[in-house]
Amino acid sequence: MFEEVEHRIGYTFKNKDLLKQAFTHISYARDAGIPHYETLEFLGDALLNFLIVDLLVESFPEKREGALASLKAYLISEEFFCELARELGLPEHILMSRGKKNVSIIGDVFEALWAAVYVDSGRDCNLVKELFTRLFKDRILETIRSRKVKRDYKTLLQEITQKRWRERPLYRVISVEGPEHARIFTVESSIRGMSAVGKGKSKKEAEQEAAKKLVEKLQKEDIQT
């Protein structure tokens, strides 16, 4: 079932169950009584964060930390990971019993897949880096050089608040509603008595929306003063 995935990423799994787990949504896992991908996704999030940062520092050693952080924020986003996952044809292999294969779920599976490769390879970070670089380095650099990197509002908000007050905004999850396969997160972003609330299908998406609204508030305040 997953031979096509192995062929596309250039890696053959020793433990096929681990590969299947990376594509197993919690809704399917509960019905089938098998492990789901959430733990792998947690590991994959950190792993891809490192790989992206390493690639940025290697490719753009002259850029300042702020510029690199802004690029990183988009390149590790669910939206970008979803794009890469679609290019590999990963969504068609996701195992779900309920709900839709939205951006958040596809991005999570992308992270889980790379964590699965890492674990299956005996935690060989060099091998994972080699595979990831071969598949995506040119794609990532082209995205940056063609200025297709979308603005990250969490980074923008932090840049504004650090410059004004040398403080970072706070984020707080207000609520999580809906069934597990279709959750809606509500997050508040706040600083110095000002706040804004955002909603999204994931915590990251809700944080981006809250940050965007708070940026707009601060910019509106600047115009009025």
Q: Which residues of 53-85 are buried (b: 16+ CB within 10 A; e: fewer)?
A: bebbeeeeeeeeeeebbbbbbbbbbbebbbbbb
- The Cα–Cα gap between 217 and 79 comes to 25
Beta-bridge partners for 175:
186
Phi, psi angles (nearest 5°) of residue 191: -165, 135
The beta strand positions in 105-165, using DSSP E, are: none
Asked if 184 contacts 176 with a C-beta cutoff of 8 angstroms, the reply is yes
Of the residues 41, 78, 111, 188, which is catalytic? 111
User: Any catalytic annotation for residue 111?
Assistant: yes
Of the residues 45, 78, 152, 188, which is catalytic? 45
- Residues labelled catalytic: 45, 111
